[in-house]
Amino acid sequence: MPPVLQVTDLKAHYFGFRGTRVVKAVDGVSFCVEAGETLGLVGESGCGKTTTCHAIVRLLPPGARIVGGSIELDGENLLDKSPSEMRQIRGRRIATILQDPMASLDPLFSIYDQVAEPAYYHRSLRGARLRARVRELLAAVRIPSPERRMKEFPHQMSGGMRQRIVGAIAQAGGPQIIVADEPTTNLDVTIQLQYLNLLKDLQRASGVALIFVTHNLGIVAKMCDNVAVMYAGKIVEMQSVRGLFYAPKHPYTRALLDSIPKLGSKEPLYAIPGQPPDLSALPTGCTFHPRCSQVMDRCRTDEPWEHPLGDGATARCWLAIPEATRA
Residue 259: count of CB within 10 angstroms of its CB: 13
d(CA 175, CA 90): 9
Amino acid 176: pLDDT: 94
Strands (DSSP E) found in 224-283: 226-231, 234-240
Assess contact for 14 and 190: CB atoms under 8 A. no
pLDDT by residue (tens digit) across 245-256?
Answer: 999 999 999 999
Could you give the CA distance from residue 207 to residue 304 in angstroms, rounded to a whole number? 36
Q: What is the predicted pLDDT for the residue at 160?
A: 85
pLDDT for the residue numbered 255: 93
Rounded to a whole number of angstroms, the distance between the first and last alpha carbons of the chain is 36
CA 299 to chain centre: 28
What was the pLDDT predicted at 265? 80
pLDDT of residue 225: 95
How would residue 17 be classed by pLDDT, with cut points 50, 70 and 90?
low
Q: Where are the domains of the chain?
A: 5-83+209-325
String of DSSP letters for 124-185: ---HHHHHHHHHHHHHHTT-SSHHHHTTS-GGGS-HHHHHHHHHHHHHHT--SEEEEESTTT
The strand order across the sheet containing 226-231 reads 94-97, 177-181, 209-213, 38-42, 226-231, 234-240, 313-315, 307-310
pLDDT, tens digit (0-9, with 9 covering 90-100), for 84-119: 999 999 999 999 998 777 778 999 999 999 999 999
pLDDT value at 213 more than 70: yes
Radius of gyration of the chain, Cα coordinates, nearest whole angstrom = 21
Asked if residue 18 has pLDDT above 70, the reply is no
User: What's the rounded mean pLDDT across residues 177-204?
Assistant: 86
Q: Is the per-residue pLDDT at 302 higher than 90? A: yes
pLDDT at 19: 59
Residue 289 has pLDDT above 90, yes or no: yes
Between 318 and 19, the more confident residue is 318
> How confident is the model at residue 192, as a pLDDT?
84
> Rounded to an integer, what distance in angstroms lies between the CA atom of residue 108 and that of residue 68?
39
DSSP 324: G
H or E element in which residue 73 lies: strand 64-73
Write down the pLDDT at residue 208. 93
Nearest to 278 by CA among 232, 229, 327: 232
Query: In degrees, to the nearest 5, what angle opens at C-alpha 316 toward C-alphas 310 and 319?
Result: 85
Share of residues in the chain with pLDDT > 70 (%):
98
**pLDDT of the residue at 187:** 78
Class at the top of the CATH hierarchy for domain 5-83+209-325 = alpha beta
